Structure 1
Amino acid sequence: MIKLNDVTVRFGDTIALQPTSLAFHRGQFTVLLGASGAGKSTLLRCLNLMQMPGAGSIEVEGLGPLRSGAALRAHRRNTGMVFQQHQLIARRTALQNVITGRVGHYTSLRSLFPLPHRDQEIALHCLERVGLLHKALARIDQLSGGQQQRVGIARALAQQPRLMLADEPVASLDPATADKVLALLQRVCKEDGISAVVSLHQVELAKRYADRVIGLAHGRVVFDVAPDALTAERTSALYENRPHQAAPETHAPHSFPLNLAIAKD
């Protein structure tokens, strides 16, 4: 569905992401695992070019390389984003926040006016799916942290995306709430056939919910395995003080499956 070809990111003299080639497939729930500063967020944000790579290319099935503005806009319309700090409008209601997920489907001029009733129906349905329909008219600043993150998931779902990116979506939540929110995110992505890439630092959550775990340390992919292969030896490599020099391990080739179908809007 989306492929990175030798993507590299530098911040001044610091290499935040070593040359990285990966492919992410339709319907797969992938976890990027690693310590703070490992390159997880940098890699994840490259997937919708919120972080522009200094070298390499990114290809999306059906759009090709993301070189033109038109291709990038189309890709972003099809990509939902869930943030660690929610990025919601505190004084607006849950419904008003979720409906902003529909704005990308319209021109800039059209988005200045009230959106069609159909978009409100989509937003209400998304709130229902995350268990917050009864909070549709509640202001965001009246909701708990876990509820706010569920509103963020609903907003991303309102885009009707093919790809979902979540940057440390449970880092600010207590363990019990984090487990519930991640379970919800995995469930809705599986139900809709949405590919998901989620950055985490909790090993147990990665084991519980991922189809695939990519471990990063010092801006380098150090393993790429199924969750049942996530051994203590492998996870310890993520927290070493020096860069890991071994070649990445893989459980499947990084290539597009021949029978891949684009998910419906």
Structure 2
Amino acid sequence: MGRGVAGSLQSAPVMNLPVTDLPPDVPGPTESNDDAPLHPRHGERLKSFVRRNGRTTDGQQRAFAELGPQYLLPYRAAPVDLADAFGREAPTVLEIGFGMGEATAHIAALMPETNFLCCEVHEPGVGALLKRIGEQGLTNIRICAHDAVDVLDHMLPHGVLDGVHVFFPDPWHKKRHNKRRLLQPPLVKKLAERLRAGGYLHCATDWQPYAEQMLEVLAQEPLLHNTAVAYADKPHYRPLTKFENRGLKLGHGVWDLVFTRT
């Protein structure tokens, strides 16, 4: 789950990984910059992440070297053939910002008949998910370590996805930072357009003001239909993480929103 990485819309540079065995377009460590501008400067564009510090462990580095060639999908400014990328024809779900990949690996193991294309720019998170792929023998995950907005704009044609997961994006609590939140009308429209008819968009947050904004933004998109009156019950496939379980014990809420493409 990608809080603080792929969880906001903001301009940010992308650095290359220091590992020489990796594809040159895999971004490197990121760090948060709370004083960064809310809008891109002239000549820049919005991105789906902010920079964040992090250290890649030896195990994650080994996973990059051993599993990266098979499971990392390099970014290309051209439509991707998903059947070729996964080696099979299967329903495909896009996940934006998977954090350290715990929930992603759980869901992929639970749904082996589904392909999962996962976008994350935080190097330790990418390495952690690669490590989980190896440990659990997962074959239905491909990781594009690149800005999800670019992936949507250039790699994914309209109507190609069966689902989209956006779990616990950065809520940007301060009111003056709310415009950095990921779930804004332009991105929601992009996501809706890339869903097949009947495909779903599942978002989750533990910050009620963000949940309310998500509900408002998603409800305003004419291509989407809410599967609930307001918030949905937690779908069976989304695991209860340690962080979430701790919050629930402290009385914190969690809100799931599930919309389908009309």
- Provide the TM-score with structure 1 as the length reference: 0.29
| Structure with a larger share of its residues in strand | 1
| Structure with a larger share of its residues in helix | 1
Larger Rg: 1
Query: Whose RCO is larger (CA < 8 A, sep 6+)?
Result: 1
